[in-house]
Structure 1
Amino acid sequence: MEPPKAPHSMSLKVLRLSRPTLLRQFPLPLPPKSSALSLNPGEALDLKPGEHDDQFILDPVLTLPPAFGSAYVGETFSCTLCANNELSEDDDRHVSTVRIEADMQSPSGTSALELMPADNDSLDPEVKPGGSLQKIVQFDLREEGSHTLAVNVSYSETTVTKDQAASSGRVRTFRKLYQFVARPCLSVRTKVSSAPSADSADHQKYIIEVQLENMADGTITLKKVTFNTKPTFRSASLNWDIAQSNMQHASCPIVAPRDVIQIAFVVDQRTDGPDREATKDGRIMLGQLSIQWWTEMGDSGFLSTGWLTTKRR
């Protein structure tokens, strides 16, 4: 029988980053000595140091389980990787040269993730007992399907005897996987139709109709929707941001789950522009639709469609 393996000196904890956990709070400025006011600078903070609110809906430390549900296409997946030294101060084992590596396995393949902050050396210095090495990873979700965050932690473990003689260190590694599913946040349906032009028969004008449906579980706020045309054309918005041209405030629409919003653009051909680009089957390429939004937690999302074309001639 093989002898049982010694428990690892290091552990890994992954914390999901969100806007509430990164919210900056500033204490009140100290009053001048000549002032008669006595203000506690900590009164401006939600919680005083050392306090914890059990009734708060979000835990201050959002730890990811091995499978944590779903995320949404168009958003940026962010998390903190924490390699914690679980040894006590009087332990005869010593941990050094800790290294964290991570990659994201998506339906299209595996992508190595850049760790932040980046260090000049590939190996990190010693992590003292009770200490933690923390790195932040980010990954833009661009496709639907199952995703797996794979994290590898390697370190050197050295045993120190009572006479302070250190034995040769051994390299230990362990790997953890965190799975989630990327789902669509917005369903986009488009329709292109021709519009009569009063200039000439060769002068083309089109109406782009777009239907957006919120497929997420929470409310989203549409930040900006634009239609980026080919150089042959120019577009004009017929949506809520049209009031901005009159220097008026335009409120962004809020879309509840499964709600649908209609938007539209007018695409006009330039008289001094280059020739129109056409596909092999005779369709004219007009442009791409770009959508930006905020989630109910303040995270931003971005989605760009393929090239929209006219009907086949």
Structure 2
Amino acid sequence: MEVNPPKQEHLLALKVMRLTKPTLFTNIPVTCEDRDLPGDLFNQLMKDDPSTVNGAETLMLGEMLTLPQNFGNIFLGETFSSYISVHNDSNQIVKDILVKVLKPLDVKTKFYNAETDEVFLEAQIQNITTSPMFMEKVSLEPSMMYNVVELNTVKQVGEGESTFGSRTYLQPLDTRQYLYCLKPKQEFAEKAGIIKGVTVIGKLDIVWKTNLGERGRLQTSQLQRMAPGYGDVRLSLEAIPDTVNLEEPFHITCKITNCSSERTMDLVLEMCNTNSIHWCGVSGRQLGKLNPSSSLYLALTLLSSVQGLQSVSGLRLTDTFLKRTYEYDDIAQVCVVSSTIQVES
């Protein structure tokens, strides 16, 4: 009977010798409340332990250095020194050899489109290592089309304070959310009206330090987002009051933009009343011709018959050239309150 030799899983033998630095000693504190049976015994033992930090005995991190016992992990963005030996143990030729060692952070991004051309970027950063990190910098480098405003500080009289407080440590498996507002530069906004299609937003630049001050850096690839599809006609609100009185007329200002770069439109405005919001004016009015990449401003009057937070809906725009109707609902929300009447005695 013929026995096949065992199949070799890997053709290459990899040997790595890392030049590592000493690490801080870590202890596992045992604590209890004063009313428990041991009383203050555990706390006194930790204070007498020479490896603990004075005044912070309950922290796992000690003040003594220990020599590394194993190779440890190498994370993406960290600097390390080592010797790598790759040996081909087989009789085959091996090509396209890559070394990838581990990523320390998990980065997720979300885009939110505002009523205007502004874009809000939310970046969720998670520490997926086994040790805390000092987050030195998390910034967004925008592309040439945008200006960026960081929304991660609380404005005060002096300098802005970070929303995360004075401690910028990110514990293992903890996640932080960073928010940025991007606005198109004037030359791009005026040239195209709105930025269409897939646009490049920019890239995140993250810098951190580990326990002994080793510095790591990670830059993401260029972030891209799909611009919202407004169709050929875009309607946006330029002015609307936050609070209005019940059964009293209030005014809003709308901006209508012809997003087409080639075709002129002939628009007709229709206003459809809802159960709570009523339009004041003549429906079916002619707005006239609107040239490509041009806009017009329209002042409208409404009246609400129901209190509370009400949605402004019911606008219809019809292009008489193509016989195409565009519907706009939930354009904005307004708070309706009852008007107070003062009676003199």
TM-score range, shorter chain: 0.3 to 0.5
Which of 1 and 2 has higher RCO (CA within 8 Å, sep 6+)? 1
TM-score, normalised relative to structure 2:
0.40
Higher Cα radius of gyration:
2
TM-score, normalised relative to structure 1:
0.44
